[in-house]
């Protein structure tokens, strides 16, 4: 059974511990991947802080890229030596939801769901969080979680495709199906929000209004395709959005942060027939408020978007083509690279708002 170095959470809200773990050999339909890069997503941080509960000890990390090291029986989509993106989306392709092109909602219970692949030095079971556990230099995942990528794509940039890019971009093109000329606002300009901005730009939206409390992130949003930036700490954001849209408001607002105030304020930005797209996830128990009378009278909508409703087998190759064509920025999303031993410092920088995406890199 392969060994791996991993960052382990033993107590919510505490520093992650670097230690050796043991992985099960890949079973039928499973793949062992040597992880070369894993980006830090806010979901990893929220889980490690106990925002959604969960089982401990746990290894988080779900936004990864690496090289296939070994495969179990029956694997046909990838082979040892292939470069791959590793996602948390595990799907059977045959259940009720998969048949309806909603692989992110697959209801199949896999062998790795029943018994994870990780154990600690004492033989106790460790949680392979979010079906990935990629804050480690090796992972065992189901083949459906992988997409082969060209060998010339840098691992740190490729890792972003596993979550931040498909979530933000997919919310725009898959969930909301933004059309050319529609007005868009994006609340929160971190890694996911910037990819919603990019998705809106590629879809032909105009204007694209970025909303964030940090001016540096608003400037970043403009580099990624936003036409305007609004800081609610310095101006009336709703009034500014209305002024940019002939007094009407935007057709779609994408809330990419998990803050109650962001959800409550989203309805101030949309026009008649407008849509609030919920992308960010707040801690358990946080509730948002809206006026159902206005929602009905103005024909407005609220929709959720999990992982950008991605079909990774088709969406990730399409995103790579956008990247190669210069339409999608990936390299520019990477704020800094850290070794696994410095993961706590990398997380602290993300929490302080200093990073778009910090990436853990492995030799």
Q: Hey, CA dihedral for 36, 40, 43, 44, is it positive or negative?
A: positive
Q: Residue 333 is encoded by which pair of tokens?
A: 């999303």
pLDDT at residue number 284: 84
What are 63-91's pLDDT values in tens digits? Answer: 999 999 999 999 999 999 999 999 999 99
Count Cα neighbours of 302 within 13 Å in the Cβ-side half-sphere: 14
Q: Are 170 and 161 within 8 A, CB to CB? A: no
Is residue 323 situated within a structural domain?
no
- Residue 267 located in a structural domain: yes
Measuring CA to CA, how many Å separate 278 from each of 176, 181, 254, 290, 332?
Answer: 10, 21, 6, 13, 25
pLDDT per residue as tens digits for the range 325-341: 999 999 999 999 999 99
Whether residue 1 is predicted with pLDDT greater than 90 in this model: the reply is no
Is 34 within the bounds of a domain? yes
Q: Are 86 and 142 in contact (CB under 8 A)?
A: no
> Is 356 found in the same domain as 207?
no
Question: Residues 106, 249: one domain?
Answer: no
Asked if residue 239 has pLDDT above 80, the reply is yes
Asked whether 218 and 230 are in contact (CB, 8 A), the reply is yes
Residues 239 and 182 in one domain: yes
- What pLDDT band is residue 283 in, cutting at 50, 70 and 90? confident
Bridge partner list, 186 = 210, 254
Indicate the average pLDDT of the chain: 95
pTM of the predicted model over 0.75: yes
Is residue 173 within 8 A of residue 311, CB to CB? The reply is: no
37 and 120 share one domain: yes
The neighbouring-strand residues paired with 19 are: 6
Q: Give me 136's structure tokens.
A: 């480690």
Residues of the chain by 3-state class (helix, strand, coil), percent to 5? 35, 25, 40
* Domain final position from 291, 306, 321: 306
- In this predicted structure, what is the pLDDT of residue 84? 98
Q: Comparing C-alpha atoms, which of 16, 48, 9, 120 is closest to residue 343?
A: 16
What is the model's pLDDT at position 363? 78
**Pair 286, 280: CB distance under 8 Å:** no
Residue 320, domain member (yes or no): no
* Between residues 148 and 50, the one the model is more confident about: 148
List the domain range (segments joined by +) for residue 10: 3-162+329-361
- Predicted local distance difference test score (pLDDT) of residue 199: 98
Q: Are residues 136 and 184 in the same domain?
A: no
Which single residue is written with the structure tokens 């062998």? Answer: 111
- Establish if 113 belongs to a structural domain: yes
In terms of domains, do 135 and 108 share one? yes
Instruction: Identify the domain boundary among 306, 321, 352.
Output: 306
Question: Whose structure tokens read 């210069």?
Answer: 326
User: Could you tell me if 107 and 244 lie in one domain?
Assistant: no
The full length of the chain comes to 363
Mean pLDDT of 307-324: 97
What would the two tokens of residue 311 be?
Answer: 């079909």
Record the tokens describing residue 184, joined without a space.
């868009």
Q: Does 73 lie in the same domain as 124?
A: yes
pLDDT at 278: 96
Quick one: which of 7, 11, 18, 40 has its CA closest to 350?
40
Please state, in angstroms and rounded to a whole number, the distance separating the CA atoms of residues 19 and 21: 6
Q: Count CA within 13 A, CB hemisphere, residue 53.
A: 2
pLDDT at 324 over 80: yes
Burial of residue 56 (CB within 10 Å: 0-12, 13-18, 19+) is: middle
Count of beta carbons in the 10 Å neighbourhood of residue 97: 15
- Give me the residue label for tokens 């990477």: 334
Strands (E), 188-257: 208-211, 228-230, 250-255
54 and 140 fall within a common domain: yes
Q: What is the pLDDT of residue 344?
A: 97
In terms of average pLDDT, the best of 261-265, 299-303, 354-358 is 299-303
pLDDT digits (tens, 9 = 90+) for 168-219: 999 999 999 999 999 999 999 988 999 999 999 999 999 999 999 999 999 9
Interatomic CA distance for residues 215 and 257, integer angstroms: 16
Let me know if 102 is exposed, middle or buried by CB neighbors in 10 A (0-12, 13-18, 19+): middle
32 occurs within a structural domain: yes
pLDDT of residue 282: 86
**299 inside domain:** yes
CATH number at residue 77: 3.90.180.10
259 and 341 belong to one structural domain: no
∠ Cα 361 167 28 (to 5°): 65
Instruction: Note whether residue 344 is domain-resident.
Output: yes
Number of domain units in the chain: 2
Q: Does residue 196 share a domain with residue 84?
A: no
Q: Does 286 share its domain with 215?
A: yes
């Amino acid at each position: 059974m392969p060994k791996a170095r991993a960052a382990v959470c033993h107590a919510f809200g505490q520093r992650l511990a670097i230690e050796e773990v043991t992985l099960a050999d890949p079973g039928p339909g499973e793949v062992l991947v040597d992880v070369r890069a894993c980006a830090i997503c806010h979901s990893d941080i929220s889980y490690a802080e106990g925002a959604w509960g969960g089982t401990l000890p746990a290894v988080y990390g779900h936004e990864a890229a690496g090289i296939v090291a070994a495969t179990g029986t029956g694997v046909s989509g990838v082979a040892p030596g292939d470069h791959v993106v590793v996602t948390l989306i595990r799907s059977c392709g045959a259940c009720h939801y998969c048949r309806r092109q909603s692989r992110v909602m697959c209801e199949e219970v896999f062998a790795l769901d029943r018994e994870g692949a990780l154990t600690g030095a004492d033989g106790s079971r460790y949680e392979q969080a979010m079906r990935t556990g990629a804050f480690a230099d090796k992972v065992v995942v189901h083949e459906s979680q992988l997409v082969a990528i060209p060998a010339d794509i840098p691992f740190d940039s490729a890792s972003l495709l596993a979550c931040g890019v498909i979530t933000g971009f997919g919310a725009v093109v898959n969930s909301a199906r933004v059309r050319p000329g529609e007005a868009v606002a994006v609340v929160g300009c971190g890694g996911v929000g910037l990819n919603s901005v990019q998705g809106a730009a590629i879809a032909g939206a105009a204007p694209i209004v970025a909303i964030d409390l940090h001016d540096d992130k608003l400037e970043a949003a403009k580099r990624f395709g936003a036409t305007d930036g609004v800081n609610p700490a310095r101006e009336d954001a709703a009034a500014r959005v209305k002024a940019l849209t002939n007094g009407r408001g935007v057709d779609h607002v994408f809330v990419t942060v998990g803050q109650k105030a962001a959800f409550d304020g989203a309805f101030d930005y949309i026009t008649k027939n407008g849509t609030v797209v919920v992308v960010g996830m707040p801690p358990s128990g946080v509730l948002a408020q809206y006026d159902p009378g206005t929602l009905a009278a103005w024909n407005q909508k609220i929709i959720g978007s999990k992982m950008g409703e991605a079909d990774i087998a088709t969406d990730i190759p399409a995103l790579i083509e956008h990247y190669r064509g210069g339409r999608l920025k990936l390299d520019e999303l990477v704020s800094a690279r850290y070794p696994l031993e410095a993961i706590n410092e990398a997380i602290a920088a993300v929490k302080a708002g200093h990073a778009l995406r910090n990436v853990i890199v492995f030799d």
